[in-house]
Amino acid sequence: MTDQAASIGLVIRHGRDRDPVASAIVRAIAGPLLAAGMRFITRSVDDEESELRTYRLWARVGGIAGVIVLGADEDDARIRLLRQIDMPFVALAPVAHEVDYPAVTVDASAASRALAAYLDGHPARRWVYITSQSEPDPLVSEAGEAADGGERRIETLQTPDVVAEALRVAGESSPDAPSVLIFDNDHDAVAALDALEEHGILVPEAVSLICWSDSLVCQSASRPITAIDRHGREIGALLGTAALAAIHDGDVVPVAAPQPVVVVRETT
């Protein structure tokens, strides 16, 4: 049995800490670990080589009973190393990959399918994804390709000023020609909602708002925002529980994460 005073480690790459789903996952991992008397140690690094060095250090120094790996790929160097140094682990991996190690598997495209199904039943004539990211999330565009039999597409507008772009699109919308605006994160969605209401835009009659990732911010906005619940909290709890099983039992089968759902609120 592993010493209950030992820790579970997690290495986070810079950039992932800005993903609201990843942040929810990390926060939720701690619950099962703390309940079992384990400590939860996190380290932030810049790249894969720094992550590998951290694992080697933990194996050499001791005190880390096992680790959690985020975003595992096929033929992942981190998985190979952890096996070589005999470090117990559990990984967050795409469901499309065949895994022969302890993992929580996530179907990334499921969020696209959930959004597509919702858009199919929405009366909007125009779907617009407004993002300030240098690389728009391809899964949002994928939802447009799946919706309406592939006859329509989600427009992608990249801009440093999300609010101004939302107001521009809203100015081209009306209750007779409504639009759906999709945002990467809760802060952009709330800022756009506040601006639309200040300018007298009818929400949701003329413009509907959807956030790609649900959060407490979406839930507690002046008008609660429709969002996709990608189950970050549930995934984190599954990872924490699987990590405990991996260090104690060693034989843990992959478990599937719950499917995303659109949580309909007052902005649609």
Domains 7-107+231-258 and 109-229 share a fold: yes
Q: What is the pTM (predicted TM-score) of this model? A: 0.89
What residue ranges do the domains of the chain occupy?
A: 7-107+231-258, 109-229
3-state secondary structure 189-204: HHHHHHHHHHCCCCCC
**What's the DSSP call for residue 260?**
P
pLDDT in tens, 202-244: 999 999 999 999 999 999 999 999 999 999 999 999 999 999 9
**Both tokens of residue 160?**
């440093």
Please give the CATH number for the structural domain made up of 7-107+231-258.
Answer: 3.40.50.2300
In a 10 Å sphere around its CB, with 0-12 CB exposed, 13-18 middle and 19+ buried, how is residue 50 labelled?
Answer: middle
CATH for the 109-229 domain, from 1.10.3720.10, 3.40.50.2000, 3.40.50.1820, 3.40.50.2300: 3.40.50.2300
Backbone CA torsion sign across 140, 142, 145, 149? negative
Could you say which residues of the chain have pLDDT below 70? 1-5, 16-18, 146, 148-151, 250
How far apart are the C-alpha atoms of 88 and 71, rounded to whole Å? 17
